[in-house]
Each structure stands twice: as structure tokens, then as C-alpha cells.
């Protein structure tokens, strides 16, 4: 198979995802708070992918301004990620609809049925996360237009199941809507593998952190460049009485302090100096503001360095266009090499 025919085959494999997103390549940018803002989002879309704004804790007014700022940088499609637990979710949806955002991602928990209907009635597409097959089927019945399945290899808040297991469980069973795969994906060969399993496309976050267009602090980017897969670990829960939502991030001094803080809080409860509710609040508030301190202020020791296990494949700063072109090239070379019966090159430009 020639490279041209391999490219045509790749185009066929992710055609459903491209048509759904309105893009040249079915690569979505993961919504990373403080990182996935107008500059990176627009750069991903301008490079042929699908950028997604991370609204995080923005107000509807702040989100409207961010959408407007993104649209000033790109004429291509992009989406917005909304947290379903946000107290102003309806207002955030309205801000998206008022500014003609075509795709809204509802994340951070099972979305209310009313929110799904609100988005669809406003003319936008709804994308939701499905951490299990039963939830995927429930979301499809609720009328969502596409799903993202994200494995525990991802950065930030993660579930207990790996990407490869979720893909095997969900991709063969859910055909009604496009399904995008996320978590630990850093090379084009992996994208190709999931497309061949039935995915419509893939979502990547960690690979884009060190994009030239990313506003992340240089020290934050350097931490990614230096890190390997084993450095991206999940937060530790010391006592089942005090649940800790797992968050994958690069281990640093704050990681150690979090474990120490839990020990101190648990000891205070056991000594009768603190009630259970206050103890849980203190544990949950430990990381408040820590992501901003790392991404924006560059405090890589006391901040939170949320990163997926694909961080080992981030070896230098590149333009967003170069990252996407590299991923596409890796998938094409893999297709061509395999069908010609020759060994694939041991390394792509990502490892240089």
C-alpha cells in the first residue's frame, strides 16, 4: 500500500468522526482547565482537529467572552466542555447556544436529562462521557449524539478502568452514535488501532499541553517534557472513611504533602478533635487553586501537575499543527508498513 492509499484508508476509518465534528481529522482536544482556552483551542481547530474549551468554574459571562475570543482566532468548528455539577449549568448552556457553539460536551458526572434536551432543542450536538457500557447505553437512550470513553491512563479525574478494556467493552456494542476514545493516547498508531476497533476518532489532552500555542507556564511544560509515564500517578486515599476522587498528576512535593495532610486529618478525627464532615471538606479543599498555581503561575512543586500517562511521549515543545501532522503521519506509516508486510519504523518524530 502506498502512503497515498494509506492516507485514503485513514480518511475512510475516521470519516464518521470527521463528519460529526466537521473537521479534517477526527482528533478532539481534551478539555484541560486553564490549558484548553482560546489560544490552544483555536490552534487545534485551525490545524484540522477539534478544539474544546474547558469552561471549568467560569460564569456564563466569562464563558461567553471565551467563546467570542476563540471565534476571533478560528473560523473552524470547536466545542465547549461543561461540568454538569456547575450551579449555573443552564446559563452556561444558554451562553453556548447564544454564541452558536455546535457541540457541547457534558462532563463530570451523569448529565441531567433536562440538560441534554436543553442542548438539543437549542440546535447543538451533545457529547457525553461513558465510563461503562450500561451508562453508554443509557446515554444513547437519553438522546446524546456522541460518546467519549476515557480510561484511567488519562490525566486529571479518572475512573478505575483502562482505555483498552473500555474500548473492548463498548466499541463493539455501541454503534448508534459516534464513540471517541481517550486516555493514554500519544501516538498515531494507537489512534489507528482504536479506529479499526470501531471508534469514530480519539481525544488527546496531554500531547497538547506543550504546544507552542498553549499558555501553560514554561516550568509546567518543562515538567511534562522531563516526565515519564510512571511519573503520572493517581492521588492516594489513606482511609475508606474519607473518599478521595482519583486524580492523575505528576508526583511532586504537593503529592507528598497531600498524604501527610490526610494522616493529620484522620488522626484529628480519631482523637475527637474534628468531626467527619469537616475532615472530608479539608481533604477535598487541599488542592483548591493548585492547578492554576501550576499551569499559570509555574509552581511545579506545590501546584497540581495533572497529566496522563502519555506524558512520556511529550518530548519537546511543538506547534499544534506539527503535533497533529505527526500523529497523522504515524497512523499512515503504520497502515502502509503493515499492509506491505514490512516492519514499522521503531520511532517517529515524537520520540526525537
pLDDT in tens, 122-162: 999 999 999 999 999 999 999 999 999 999 999 999 999 99
CA–CA separation, 307 and 268 (whole Å): 32
Residue 1 pLDDT greater than 90, yes or no: no
Domain boundaries, the chain: 3-204+318-351, 218-310
pLDDT one-digit tens code per residue, 201-216: 999 999 999 999 999 9
Write down the residue that cell numbers 482566532 correspond to: 73
* Model pLDDT, residue 93: 98
Give me the sheet containing 247-250, strands edge to edge: 156-157, 247-250, 232-234
pLDDT one-digit tens code per residue, 80-91: 999 999 999 999
Q: What mean pLDDT comes out for the span 261-289?
A: 94
* Model pTM score: 0.93
Confidence of residue 352 (pLDDT cuts 50, 70, 90): very low
Q: Is 128 helix (H, G, I), strand (E, B) or coil?
A: strand
φ, ψ for residue 104, nearest 5 deg: -120, 125
φ, ψ for residue 179, nearest 5 deg: -125, 125
Task: Give the total residue count for the chain.
Answer: 352
Confidence of residue 338 (pLDDT cuts 50, 70, 90): confident
Q: What mean pLDDT comes out for the span 226-249?
A: 95
Instruction: Return the number of other C-beta atoms located less than 10 Å from residue 138's C-beta.
Output: 14
CATH of 3-204+318-351, one of 3.90.1260.10, 3.30.465.10, 2.40.50.100, 3.20.20.70: 3.20.20.70
CA–CA separation, 206 and 112 (whole Å): 29
Q: Please name which of 302, 326, 329, 332 lies closest in space to residue 314, comparing C-alpha atoms.
A: 326
* Model pLDDT, residue 116: 98
Amino acid at each position: 500500500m502506498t502512503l497515498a492509499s494509506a492516507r485514503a484508508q485513514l480518511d475512510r476509518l475516521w470519516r464518521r468522526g470527521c463528519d460529526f465534528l466537521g473537521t479534517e481529522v477526527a482528533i478532539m482536544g481534551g478539555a484541560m482547565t486553564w490549558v484548553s482556552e482560546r489560544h490552544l483551542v483555536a490552534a487545534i481547530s485551525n490545524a484540522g482537529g477539534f478544539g474544546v474549551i474547558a469552561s471549568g468554574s467560569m460564569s456564563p459571562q466569562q464563558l461567553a467572552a471565551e467563546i467570542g475570543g476563540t471565534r476571533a482566532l478560528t473560523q473552524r468548528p470547536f466545542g465547549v466542555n461543561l461540568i454538569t455539577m456547575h450551579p449555573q449549568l443552564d446559563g452556561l448552556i444558554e451562553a453556548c447556544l447564544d454564541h452558536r457553539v455546535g457541540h457541547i460536551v457534558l462532563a463530570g458526572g451523569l448529565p441531567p436529562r433536562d440538560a441534554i434536551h436543553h442542548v438539543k432543542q437549542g440546535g447543538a450536538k451533545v457529547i457525553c462521557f461513558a465510563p461503562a457500557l450500561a451508562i453508554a447505553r443509557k446515554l444513547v437512550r437519553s438522546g446524546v449524539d456522541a460518546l467519549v470513553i476515557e480510561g484511567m491512563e488519562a490525566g486529571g479525574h479518572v475512573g478505575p478502568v483502562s482505555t483498552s478494556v473500555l474500548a473492548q467493552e463498548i466499541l463493539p456494542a455501541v454503534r448508534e452514535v459516534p464513540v471517541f476514545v481517550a486516555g493514554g493516547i500519544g501516538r498515531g498508531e494507537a489512534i489507528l488501532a482504536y479506529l479499526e476497533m470501531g471508534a469514530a476518532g480519539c481525544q488527546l489532552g496531554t500531547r497538547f499541553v506543550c504546544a507552542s500555542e498553549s499558555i501553560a507556564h514554561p516550568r509546567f511544560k518543562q515538567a511534562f517534557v522531563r516526565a515519564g509515564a510512571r511519573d503520572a500517578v493517581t492521588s492516594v486515599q489513606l482511609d475508606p472513611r474519607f473518599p478521595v476522587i482519583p486524580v492523575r498528576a505528576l508526583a511532586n512535593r504537593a503529592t507528598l504533602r497531600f498524604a501527610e495532610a490526610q494522616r493529620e486529618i484522620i488522626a484529628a478525627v480519631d482523637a475527637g478533635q474534628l468531626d467527619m464532615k469537616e475532615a472530608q471538606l479539608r481533604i477535598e479543599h487541599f488542592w483548591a487553586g493548585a492547578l492554576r498555581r501550576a499551569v499559570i503561575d509555574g509552581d511545579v512543586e506545590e501546584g497540581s501537575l495533572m497529566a496522563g500517562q502519555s506524558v512520556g511521549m511529550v518530548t519537546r515543545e511543538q506547534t499544534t499543527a506539527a503535533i497533529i501532522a505527526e500523529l497523522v503521519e504515524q497512523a499512515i506509516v503504520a497502515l502502509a508498513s503493515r499492509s506491505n508486510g514490512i516492519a514499522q519504523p521503531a520511532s517517529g518524530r515524537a520520540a526525537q
